[in-house]
Structure 1
């Protein structure tokens, strides 16, 4: 019994030390609805065998209400779903991959949440693990921004 507990606790510590993280944008970053933003997903270096299966990047539209404490129940509006293949770039950052996604144009002004989910197989026995991370981002009020629209066949700024 002690042997099984030792194996389970070591597996738990291994999985906890290897997690997905949103490196960019950082919490509090201002993003503009309808614009592209680069999301940088990092994964810590590991001595344990890791096979990245996929990642999902999404946005929770908090619509003026408090954002959830985490994104494990819902990811929100999917912005990307597909392969995740982090690579080592700079020496001071973990291996990462950049994704360019478009911020939903109907995103509410105020605080919203950028979420990431990562499915990975860890270890020789390929233990399946689903991980989550999130950051809160700021969305400016549309009152201060100008956009083009067409009125009676003429393009005007509103």
Structure 2
């Protein structure tokens, strides 16, 4: 079997590019309690990077976990879509040490089932000089009151 350094470096570089473009939920905090019918601010952070990227879209949803542990968006889906549209993360001015981010004010439906729920993000971007597609799912658990 022939071994080349490029066969090791390329997958590592690709993984680094994808990781550096990863979004995360900056707010609300995992395990936060929120009132059904209330609005919350969802902060979506995207670390700064030298890798070129084009943001395509972001979807924010909330799904009831039916009073059981939340298992992630791959099993529960996104649930009720609270936001679907553009994502344009920016640094705060003046700089406050936060990564580029965007805040979305969304409303938890008044009729939403009480108990544990999953707040999920679906993020789509094009990254790198070769314009690789990147799709990500992120989630936190909320307690709906």
State the TM-score, normalized to the length of structure 2: 0.89
CA contact (8 A) 1:56 1:78 kept: yes
Equivalent residue number for residue 54 of structure 1: 57
Equivalent residue number for residue 101 of structure 2: 96
- Provide the aligned length of Structure 1 versus Structure 2: 139
Note the alpha carbon deviations across 1:23-81, whole angstroms, 9 max, x for none.
0111121111111111110100001001110000000111212211x223411111100
Q: 1:31-110 maps to which residues of 2 (within 5 A)?
A: 31-68=34-71, 70-73=72-75, 74-89=77-92, 90-110=95-115
Instruction: Please provide the CA RMSD for this pair.
Output: 1.4
CA contact (8 A) 2:48 2:99 kept: yes
Q: Relative contact order (alpha carbons < 8 A, sep ≥ 6): 1 or 2 greater? A: 2
Equivalent residue number for residue 25 of structure 2: 22
Structure 1 gaps of 5+ residues are 141-158
Structure 1 residue 8 corresponds to structure 2 residue 18:
no
**In structure 2, distance between residues paired with 1:72 and 1:52:** 22
Structure 2 gaps of 5+ residues are none
